[in-house]
Structure 1
Amino acid sequence: MNQPLARALRGAGLDAVDVAAQLGVDPKTVDRWLAGRMPYPRHRAALARLTGWMLRDLWPELPAQVIPDMQADEVRIVYPYRSAVPADAWSRLFAQAQEEISILAYSALFLAEDLAASTILCNKATAGVRVRLALGQPDGAHVADRSAEEGVGGGMSARIHNALVGFSRLIEAGAELRLHDTVLYNSVYRADGEALINTHIYGRQASHAPVLHLRIRSDIGMAATYLDSFERVWAASQERVG
C-alpha cells in the first residue's frame, strides 16, 4: 500500500471518490494507486497539486530524473479562504520555528484569541526565537480606509486594540512589536522556512480571502517577494511605547 499517498489524501480531506471525480478516472483506479500501483506522470502531477505534497514525498521510489521542475515549486497548498485553513495549521507552523517568526497584519486577532497558537508563540519567544509582530496603527489612515472598505466603521481599530491586549503576554515574553500605517495587500505569517500568506480582497474580511502555504526556497521567487514586503513594512514601522 502507498502509505504516503494515503496520508496525503487524508490530510487534504479527500477520498478515492473525490480524487476520481477531480482527475476524471474510475474510483477503482485510485484504489489501485493506493494499493501501490504507480500512476501515469500526468496523474502523479495532478495528485501532487491536489495534496500539496512533492512527488518524491508521495513516491520515494521515483528516480530523480523523472521529477520535473515542480520539485522546486514553492507552493505547498492553496486554501480558498482563511477560515478553510485547518485550525491546527497555525500552531504547527509556529511550532517548527527555531530561529524566527514574523507576523504582518492589521490585527491578527484570530491568533491572539487562539490559545494554542499564542501559547506556542510565547514559548518560542521565551526560548530565544526572534518573534516580530507588525500590527496596524489603530488610529492610522490606512486602518480607517480598510474599515471603510469592509463597512465595519471603527471595527478594524477596535480589533487591533483587542489584539494588542491579547498579545500582551507575548510581548512580555520578549517578542518585538511595531505598529505600521501602510496599505496591506497581504498578511504574512512566517516561521523559518515556511509561510502562510493571507491575501487581501477589496470589501472582504481577511478571513474570507485565500491563503497560500509557501516553502521558502531561495532569496528569489514568490516567497522571497512576500518576505521582502514584511521587511519593508517593518523598517517603516514604529515601536509601540506604553
Structure 2
Amino acid sequence: MRNERLRATMASAGWTHSTLAEATGVDPKSVERWVNLGRTPRRVTALRAAETLGEDVHALWPALRQARAARAVSPELVALYDRRADLPVSVFVDLLAVAREQIDVLVYAAVFLHEAYPRLNDLLRERAAEGCAVRIAVGDADSENIQQRGTEEKFGHGIESRCRLALLHYRPLLDVPGIEVRTHGTTLYNSLYRADDQALVNAHVWGVNAYGAPVWHLRRNGDGGIFDTYAESFNAVWDTAQPVER
C-alpha cells in the first residue's frame, strides 16, 4: 500500500527517490519501496529521512511507534553504535556544528577529535562567536582516577600523556569569550559530547579503550529522560572541575 504521507511530503519539498536516497545513505530502490509499497525502514534510517524531510518520523511511519513500544526502546535513542571507532569523526563534528546554544564536552582526552579534524578549535570559536556557550572538561593527568584508568586500559602512562596533549590542544581557547576549559579528576563512566538537545555518549568499559566501547546518540524528548540524566551528570562534574589557568 502506497505511503501517501511520504509521497506528498517528498513532492511538496521537491525530493525525488534518488535525492532522498543519497541524503539518507540508502539505495533509491529502498525509497521506492517506502513510497509505493509502504515499507517501513529501519529506525535509524527512518529518523534520518524524517529529519531530512522536516517531518515527524511517526507521522511518516506510524508502525515505528508500535515497534518501539514493543521493544521498550527509549524515544530519546536515535542510534546505537558497537564501537566509537565505527563512527567517522564527521559525526562528532557535524553534531557540534549545529549547536546554537550549548556545547558540552566531558572526556579524559579524546585527542582523536583534534587529530582527525584540525579545525576543531576554529569550529568552537565560530560557535562561541554566535552566542553558543562552550564548556570543555578534560582529565587532570595527575588525578589518581586517571592513573587508575591507564592501568585498567593497559596503556600505563599513555592516558596521562593524552590528557596533557588534550589540554595543549584546547589551551588556545582559554581567552575566547564564551568558551571555558576545566580539568577534572572524576571516575569517568562515559564521555559526553553534547550539542543543544543532542548528545553522543561513549560508554567506558573496564579494560577497553574508549574507541572500542559503544556509543549511543540521544535526542532530548521532554523532561526527565535519559538525555537529562547525562546533562545533569555533566553539570555535577563541571561543578567539581578546576578552571585552567593560562
TM over 0.5: yes
Deviates more, 1:47-56 or 1:162-171: 47-56
Q: Give the alignment of 1:1-242 within 5 angstroms.
A: 15=27, 30=30, 33-34=33-34, 36-39=36-39, 44=40, 47-51=41-45, 53=47, 66=62, 68=65, 70=68, 73-113=75-115, 114-174=117-177, 175-242=179-246
RMSD: 3.1
1:60 Cα offset (Å): 7.0
TM-score (norm 1): 0.79
Q: What are structure 1's unaligned runs of at least 5 residues?
A: 17-27
Runs of 4+ in 1 over 3 A off after TM superposition: 1-16, 54-67, 69-72
**CA distance 1:152–1:100, shift in 2 (3 Å):** same
**CA distance 1:89–1:66, shift in 2 (3 Å):** closer
For residue 143 of structure 1, give the secondary structure of its aligned residue in structure 2.
helix
Instruction: Quote the Cα distance in structure 1 between the aligned partners of 2:167 and 2:93.
Output: 19
Q: What are structure 2's unaligned runs of at least 5 residues?
A: 1-6
2:4 counterpart residue number: none
Equivalenced residues, count: 224
Deviates more, 1:106-115 or 1:219-228: 106-115
Deviates more, 1:95-104 or 1:49-58: 49-58
Deviates more, 1:222-231 or 1:53-62: 53-62
Instruction: Quote the Cα distance in structure 2 between the aligned partners of 1:10 and 1:195.
Output: 25
**CA distance 1:112–1:201, shift in 2 (3 Å):** same
| Structure 1 residue identity aligned to 2:85 | S
Instruction: Quote the Cα distance in structure 1 between the aligned partners of 2:86 and 2:20.
Output: 17
**CA distance 1:9–1:150, shift in 2 (3 Å):** farther
TM-score (norm 2): 0.78
| Structure 2 residue identity aligned to 1:96 | V
Over the matched positions of the two proteins, sequence identity in percent amounts to: 32
**CA distance 1:56–1:13, shift in 2 (3 Å):** closer
| Structure 2 residue identity aligned to 1:233 | V
1:15 Cα offset (Å): 4.6
| Structure 1 residue identity aligned to 2:165 | N
1:236 Cα offset (Å): 1.4
1:222 Cα offset (Å): 1.0
